Chains A and B, each alone.
Chain A
């Protein structure tokens, strides 16, 4: 396989052709933040927090864009950080006051990114109050919090591409889009087999195990 040499944050990096910028950066020890990407899944580049600067009119998604010979990539400029902060704030503006992933397993990727980017007061209108999306507690195993969903598409790909259970989709359009099961049935009445893959890949509190106990309150960390 042919190799490609490019520059990432001043480092010369050589990787096989067909590698994505995110993979090439990871190989060089450079961590580009992601929310929608998981190395086990085909990248979709929808959260846009992995935006990098390669001198084009727009900032491509590092998880999707393939390396090219001589490419000069900046992953961490002041402009990129500012955009990542705005994107994180936008997602947080639609979140409930607490994340069930944060209060149970404590590994909500959105909250972790908010802490890393030192997100403070959120200037955008509160979507959890203005346009609530609701919960689905019909499954005895999995709790669905549509308000915590950031539409990263990880559960859709995990259900349909990894497990081939073919249950989850996105329904609707625009800001009203949310995940749905079969023909938008409650999860407990759908063909879901409760395999748990969607919970395993979900980066937020949207899909969590119902059986998990809440963590003690003193361990809770909440952005802002």
Chain B
């Protein structure tokens, strides 16, 4: 992971990663030029040429498109003649609570400014991004009253056998909260039992799916819980190395994490005796050079090994063959924080937090047509309708038209499904999924076809390009759907899109390609009478 860090340093120093800089690096590090070109061209935070003195990046996805596509385009048009400002449209910035979101010079992120406030916004280019909307420390899942108490939980549990830790997580019923819902206790047990090394604990802090910003809040407000969860993971799998893989847009989170890591080292929580006398553990904060696909755990590993972030074939899985071939425990931010909460308060307490038979507390990012988009911390099993009510209800007097409960890969459900509990099984049975816990609300009067095509376009834009079905299939599918949506298709496209989706779903290497066309294909089935989708259904549809 040294080359990517060096490329990032060059980009930061020169405003670009030039050929000259790469030739010098190739000489110094004795690496071939082709390898550096492969890296520079793959990661969006690297540029071959320096741009104008300022760059405005406007989010083009999901909630931001819904809230302000026209505003973004108007600003871009107004600034077209300014040679000192570049305007670009980029994938989700993880600031869906500020929709439409934008960034200036890749630093200050927040709501897209108006023409009147543009100058002041550009002047504040070095400021930290807006904090995530929702709540401030201590979070409802934080067992500590203040910083002095931090890490009391791990102090206790490090003296207990690893099996007791795993059994507690199992009793709590914790599942992976990055979207995959894999039982956490099983993952920890598999990794513990896997032989060999090096052994590594990784926190996946690369949430990037449109509508998803709940990890941002946890990273900003409770970094100590993430560190504590990683420390317990390290104790269980006997790892001496930890890495937090953080998306580069989360600068406020980076500052919070860096401070928390420094404090943990000062207190000896991290360091040569972190897991016990002579049993060290420390955590490196690695800043991703960008791209949604890096949140796929094997793409993330490729990046950490200085390659293009292209997902690996599985099996083998990271629990046995992860970073540098060794057993690797990769968990999402919210999962690791929940580990600390569960170990502090007990599995019984966690079980008692949910609605009815559901266990625990869940952070949910709510975006789109609600009055106050924000991160909520809800008892598991809270209904979608209740979540909307917690955000002040629908915005602008709209009625609920449809909602996607878990990020761009989870199909939209109609308003009639709003009583569905926010839980993995209930939403799966309803035909969608809890995914990343990103509830994207679309109100009446919106163009649902435009929304679902934009979801597929996001996946097309973020395809790594490794395998044919995703690279070519997502491109052709989005092209056909977009043309049909504009009324430019000669024939109906619904059947072709279904055929294409089946091939992508069954043959793409990773989850991105497998779901790339799902938002469109599912909506065509589920919303047969939706007016905006008729152009895709075709003339033969009744």
Chain A residues within 8 Å of B, Cβ to Cβ? 45-49, 51, 58-61, 64-65, 79, 82-83, 86-87, 90-91, 93-94, 123-125, 127, 130, 150-151, 160, 166-177, 180-184, 191
Interface check B364, CB cutoff 8 A: no
Please tell me if the beta carbons of A58 and B34 are within 8 angstroms of each other in the complex: no
| Inter-chain contact B468/A125, CB cutoff 8 Å | no
> Is there an interface contact between B471 and A177, defined as CB atoms closer than 8 Å?
yes
In the complex, are the beta carbons of B37 and A171 less than 8 A apart?
Answer: yes
Question: Separation in Å of the B529 CB from the closest CB of chain A?
Answer: 26
A54 CB to nearest chain B CB (Å): 11
Expressed in whole angstroms, the Cα–Cα distance for A160 and B35 within the complex equals 10
Q: Tell whether, in the assembled complex, residue A174 and residue B464 are in contact, meaning their CB atoms are under 8 Å apart.
A: yes
- Output the least CB separation between A213 and chain B (Å): 31
| B526: Cβ under 8 A from any A Cβ | no
Q: A83-B503, A83-B507 are in contact. Are A175 and B38 (CB under 8 A)?
A: no
28 CB-based A-B contacts, threshold 8 Å: A48-B508, A58-B505, A58-B506, A59-B506, A60-B313, A83-B502, A86-B469, A94-B472, A123-B496, A124-B472, A124-B496, A125-B483, A150-B468, A151-B468, A160-B34, A166-B33, A167-B34, A169-B34, A172-B42, A173-B291, A173-B465, A174-B460, A174-B471, A174-B475, A175-B465, A175-B471, A180-B34, A191-B33
Pairwise interchain contact A58-B37, C-beta atoms closer than 8 A: no
With A46-B468, A86-B503 known as contacts, the answer to whether A169 contacts B38 (CB < 8 A) is yes
Task: Select one of B23, B32, B37, B496 contacting A180, CB under 8 A.
Answer: B37
Shortest beta-carbon distance, A42 to chain B, in Å?
12
Interface flag for B368 (CB, 8 Å): no
- Chain B's closest residue to A125 (CB) is B479
Contact assessment for A48 and B472 in the assembled complex, using a CB-CB cutoff below 8 Å? no
Q: Once the chains bind, are A174 and B468 in contact (CB under 8 Å)?
A: no
State the Cβ distance, B149 to closest chain A Cβ, in Å. 44
CB contacts (< 8 Å) of B44 on chain A: these are 173
What distance in Å separates the Cβ of A129 from its nearest Cβ neighbour in chain B? 12
Chain B hits for A49, CB < 8 A: 468
A86 to B468, CA, bound (A): 10
Contact B480 A46, beta carbon cutoff 8 Å: no
CA–CA, A58 to B508, complex, Å?
A: 8
CB < 8 Å A-B pair total: 138
Contact A93 B38 (CB under 8 A): no
In the assembled complex, B36 has its CB within 8 A of some CB on chain A: yes
* The one of A47, A125, A191 that contacts B480, using a Cβ cutoff of 8 Å: A125
Most chain B CB neighbours (cut-off 10 Å) among A90, A93, A125, A160: A90
Asked if B338 is an interface residue, CB under 8 A from chain A, the answer is no
Closest-CB distance, B211 to chain A (whole angstroms): 21
Which residues from B are CB-within-8-Å of A94?
472
B151 to chain A, nearest CB (A): 40
Residues on A with C-beta less than 8 A from B479 are 125, 130
B417-473 CB contacts (< 8 Å) to partner A: 460-469, 471-473
Q: Does B301 contact A (CB under 8 A)?
A: no
Inter-chain contacts of A127 with B (CB < 8 A) = 472, 475-476
Cα-based distance from A127 to B471 in the complex (angstroms):
12
Cα–Cα, bound, A87→B473 (Å): 8
Given the known interface contacts A65-B313, A86-B500, the answer about A175 and B507 at a Cβ–Cβ threshold of 8 Å is no
Cα distance A93–B38 in the bound complex, in angstroms: 26
Q: Chain A contacts of B507 at CB under 8 A?
A: 48, 51, 58-59, 83, 87
- Is B193 in contact with chain A by the CB < 8 A criterion? no
Contact assessment for B514 and A48 in the assembled complex, using a CB-CB cutoff below 8 Å = no
